[in-house]
Every structure is written in structure tokens, then in C-alpha cells.
Amino acid sequence: MRVNRISRARGRTAVGLSVAALAVGATTAAGPALAQPAAAPKAAPAAAADCSAAYRIEQKLATGTTWTMCWHYESEAGLVLENISYQPKGEPRPIRVLTSAKLAQIHVPYDDGSVEYDDLTGAGFGQGMMNMAPGECPGGTIKTVKVPDGVDPENPNVKGLCTTTRSRGHAYRMQGDTANKVWQRQGKDLLVYTVNQVGWYEYITEWRFQDDGTVNMNVGATGSLSPDDYDAGDGRGWPIGKGAKSYATSHSHNVFWRLNFGLDGSSKNKVEQYDSVVSPPVAGGEAPRNKTTRKSITKELAGNAKNMRWWRVVSTVGKNKDEHARSYEIIPGASSKYPGRSFTKHDIYFTQYKKCEQFASNNLRNCGSGAGKSVDKWVNGQALTHPVAWVNVGFHHVARDEDQQPMPVHWQGFSIAPRDVTAMNPLTPPALADQNGQVQGGS
């Protein structure tokens, strides 16, 4: 069992929390309010995040792209981001992408069948928010978060929400006739992250907003392996001590994200699934062919990742300047899918929005009798007019000697990327802006 080393009241106590206890956290009057510079008064566009300065994250990146969002903090799910909008240079107003985004569960079953944890709803993830050292948020601001039902009621305020920027290398490169004329841009990202301790583990929940509109969601597990689990049998663990000693029990981390899309400010979004089938060359043909087909997902779906399969969520109200419907593509990450539970059997679920459906397993809200407690139960044939995407990314953790000590961060996650949100690359330099659908030769 993973017993917490500083003997905090964890275990299953969190399950009994009232709905009121799930309410929004509040920041202290100091700290975050001061972190908001004079940026606020300038043309406040309609779609901008509508929350007070203390709960607003607004970042204009060096390449001209602005991301805005609101945040609040829940006692189980931890950080919740809301009203997330993207405004690349050249767009007159922010473009709403997500109404809300948050973790929906971290399910941790052990390979020996001894135990499984729901880290969010049953093991104190939200309450375990950690103070960050200044060096953990290089170049950024650490906001203070009031943690509802925190482990230390005397000190509910945790300096634990980092917002900062980071370079990610080339956003693009295109060379003309000589190396003297290279169109290149170094991309910049807004990063938003927290650290939450659960037992011996510390989870880094990172949201990365790129200046080209892509959003990466990742959870990194670090901290320490649980020494109470150094008792695995053959095929269930890995020796991390000297010789055949200290077999750390293998386990999975099945992380679920919940994304409530709101493209162009409307919850009425459509979902499409794309599949490609490669067939051999025709007689006399030079190469195999590939045919991509679109399937409209009009009813709730429990979907599986597959070679050359992807999904997108499409706006019903907004188009880009090429008259193409705006959409965001869901790009599944590498996943070791765990087939042990009904809710872990699929890589993605699209459900019709329902307020009480908040956690992928062990849902704490009351959806009525017979509604079921996990996301797989909520896929029951309803029409999909306001889709919520639940993405399941699994990691099978077979410990290795290098996991001591501390344990290196192991990451898992996925991305969403804009598809036809803008008519061209949002970072296109002005000199190339006329190359939309027609590239000039000899650039």
C-alpha cells in the first residue's frame, strides 16, 4: 500500500465531500493581483476570458500570439482552466477554443492485483497541491491558490500555480535561394503547471499553449517510488536494489483529461472521425494509394485509437478567412492502454455535456440512480450536440534502477492542434502572406 510518508489523512476520506466543498478556490488579495500588469484596460474583446484579474492568465508571446484563460481550483481535480482563447497576430479578436479543461482522473492499478487507486477522487490529488520553489517556475510567476479542504487547514494558501513562457525551437524554416534568406522563427509557448503530491508520488500537471495554436496536455510523475511496494513477484515487478532485491511492483497510470469544447464561443460543436486505408498500386501504377474518409459522429462514442485515425471537433458558427469551418484536431499521444476496467478500455470518449459528469471513474457528483460512476457508462446513444471529450492515456510503469532517487519525471499526454482556425500559418511573416493556396515560384 502506498502510505503517505508525512502521514496525512488521505485514503478514501475525500469521497464524502459535499458539493459545496468542490467549490472554487480563491486567491489571496496580494500576490496574484499584483502579478497583473497594466495590460488589462486595452481593448477588452467580447470573447476574452471573463474573470477577475486574480483568476486570469493572459500571455502575449514574442511571436504576437495571445492566449487568455481563467482558472480556478477544485478540491479533487485540482487546476481547472476555463474560457481558453487563442488570438494569433492578425486575428481581430480572441478565438474561443475550450470552455473548460482539466484532469478527470488518474487511475493507478497495481500489476499484482493488490490494489488500485483513483488518485483524484480517492487519494487526495487536489488537496495535495505543493508549494513551488522559485526556481521551479523559471522566468514566470507563481500564483497563490487557496486549496479547498487542504491537508493543512491552517495554511490553505499554496504558492503553487506557475505561469511562464518557454522556447520550443523552430516554429518553421523555409530557405530561399541562399542561406542569406531564410524564413525561420523560433516558437514560444505559454506554460501553466502545478505540482500535486499523492502518496510518494508527485504529479506535474502541465498545460502548454503554443504560439501556433497547438495545446499540449501532459502529466509527469516524479517524486519517489513507494517503498512499501518493493515486494513484487515474478513478472509483476523489477528489482531496483542490489541483486535480486527490492522488486518494485509494476503498475499503470491511466490519466484522463476532460475537455469541454466551445469553439468560437459556442458549445454546439460537431465531431468527426477520419480513417485512411492504404491499398496496393493499381495495375501499372507507381505507388500504393491512400484514401481518407470522414465519418460524422452524431451520437456519443467510445473510440479507439488506430493507425491513421484521428478526430476533430468542428465549430458550427465560425469560419476562417478561407471560408473553412474552424476546428481542433485531437492528436492521441503514445499510450499503453490498460484493458482491466470498463472505463480504461477506450482511448477517447465523446459524451453529450452533462454537468454532473466530472470524473472518468468514481464520479463524485450525483447523476441520479442508475447513471453509473464512470465515463464508459455515459456513452449510451445520446445525440452529440455539445461534445465533451475524455481522453485516456495510459503508462505502464515498470520501475528501473534509475527510478531512484528522486524518480525522473515520466510524461504522458496528448495534443490538440488547430485545423483551419486561421487561413494560413498563424505565424506567417507579412512578406509571405500572399501565398495562400498559391505559392510563388523561386522564393
Q: Which residues bind Cu ion (CB under 5 A)?
A: 397
Q: CA nearest 330: which of 303, 291, 361, 351? A: 303
- Which of 119, 189, 229, 420 is labelled catalytic? 119
The C-alpha cell at 12 is 478514501
Map residue 398 onto helix, strand or coil: coil
Residue 144 contacts residue 31 (beta carbons within 8 Å)? yes
Q: Which residue is nearest to Cu ion (CB)?
A: 397
Residue 260 backbone phi and psi in degrees, to 5: -100, 100
Q: Which is nearer to Cu ion, 56 or 397 (CB)?
A: 397
Which residue, among 157, 206, 212, has the nearest Cα to 189 in the 3D structure? Answer: 212
**Residue placing its CB nearer to Cu ion in the complex, 130 or 398:** 398
CB of 314 to Cu ion, least distance (A): 36
Sign of CA dihedral 30, 34, 35, 40: positive
Say which of 55, 110, 193, 201 is annotated catalytic.
201
Q: Nearer Cβ to Cu ion, position 270 or 397? A: 397
Nearer to Cu ion, 238 or 353 (CB): 238
Q: How far is the CB of 112 from Cu ion (least distance, A)?
A: 14
Report angle CA 366, 372, 376 to the nearest 5 degrees: 125
Please, what is the minimum distance in Å from the beta carbon of residue 219 to Cu ion? 11
Region of 437 on the Ramachandran plot (φ > 0 left; ψ -120 to 50 alpha; else beta): left
Q: How far is the C-alpha of 52 from the C-alpha of 143, rounded, in Å?
A: 14
Q: d(Cα 298, Cα 273) in Å, to the nearest integer?
A: 10
Strand-pairing partners, residue 101, are 81, 259
- Report the nearest approach of Cu ion to the CB of residue 103 (Å): 16
* CA distance linking residue 21 with residue 225, whole number of Å: 30
Q: How far is the CB of 268 from Cu ion (least distance, A)?
A: 39
Nearer to Cu ion, 35 or 108 (CB): 108
Q: How far is the CB of 408 from Cu ion (least distance, A)?
A: 11
Q: Which amino acid is it at 12?
A: R
- 201 an active-site residue? yes
Across 193-210, b (16+ Cβ under 10 Å) vs e yields: bbbbbbbbbbbbbbbbbb
Which is nearer to Cu ion, 117 or 209 (by Cβ)?
117
The b/e string for 287-320 (b: 16+ C-beta within 10 A; e otherwise) is eeeeeeeeeebeebbbbebeeeebbbbbbeebeb
Choose between 96 and 397: whose C-beta lies nearer to Cu ion: 397
Q: How far is the CB of 397 from Cu ion (least distance, A)?
A: 3
Active site residues: 119, 201
